[in-house]
Structure 1
């Protein structure tokens, strides 16, 4: 697998343009005009979104016209594998957090990264992940009184 710089410049330009368009279109629901008490809630996000979309478009056109780096490698296979090993568990953490809550997601993420990437023994990695989840609960839920996403644990333990 070879990824060229030119292709990545086009992908990033397209994603930037898309993010700007989504921001601008989403802010239309909030109102983008000027009310009697000042700017409406969508005023600044709208113009930031338009600016992002314009700059993303500019970068895409510039990449197409300049044709610089069209043969230059962006990432080699071995580097892409290292990046996937780094970002894969993080993406799984985000997905697990959405469905299982922050405490379970953090415990599983730390267990996996300590075990597979840190080369800790499984029982020590499990203690590390579980201990961190308990510390998160104590600090945020008990000390700061800030509820974090608990997922299915909330109804299971009767937590409101």
Structure 2
């Protein structure tokens, strides 16, 4: 799909500074969690390293690097990291993928894969209906034949496979 022209595209988007600040704050939070947990386990040296000794050292280094990233990102001049149109393109790919992962547990891998193929091909590819149906049926069947029957690797199954005796 071609990118829209400037007249079609809404100006703006997410700035690189804001994205880097958000990432730095998340990393600082993660470093704080590592430090909290490692000190809860014992981060000292009592005749040898306690359980949290090395994770605490890594956590302090991680915290320092994240604080440096935050400092550098706040000082960065504003520039566009991603436009709203580009972010929409990412969402068009990410939404079916999130739905696929969420449906694996209740429906099984093969049914979720068929639904994923249908959603992905219709949303992103705008494919013909017969190619969507063909791919949604043949790909999960081929995967079932390869993994379940040939390699004997059990993958998550749902009610359809249970009804078919697998």
Please confirm whether the aligned pair reaches a TM-score higher than 0.5, indicating the same fold.
yes
Question: In structure 1, what is the equivalent of residue 93 of structure 2?
Answer: 86
Moved more, 139-148 or 116-125: 116-125
Do the aligned partners of 2:16 and 2:81 also contact (CA within 8 Å) in 1?
Answer: yes
Where structure 2 has 5 or more consecutive residues not aligned to the other structure, the ranges are 1-11
Does residue 1:9 correspond to 2:20, yes or no? yes
- Give, in whole Å, the separation in 1 of the partners of 2:41 and 2:27: 22
Q: Structure 1-normalised TM-score?
A: 0.71
- Give, in whole Å, the separation in 2 of the partners of 1:6 and 1:81: 20
- The one-character-per-residue Cα deviations of 1:32-63 (angstroms, maximum 9, x if unpaired) are 99xxxxx9998877766665444333312332
**Match for residue 102 of structure 1 among 105, 109, 114:** 109
Where structure 1 has 5 or more consecutive residues not aligned to the other structure, the ranges are 34-38
Moved more, 131-140 or 98-107: 98-107
Aligned length: 152
- The one-character-per-residue Cα deviations of 1:4-46 (angstroms, maximum 9, x if unpaired) are 111100111123334455567678999999xxxxx99988777
Question: In structure 2, what is the equivalent of residue 131 of structure 1?
Answer: 138
- Give, in whole Å, the separation in 1 of the partners of 2:50 and 2:140: 41
RMSD: 3.4
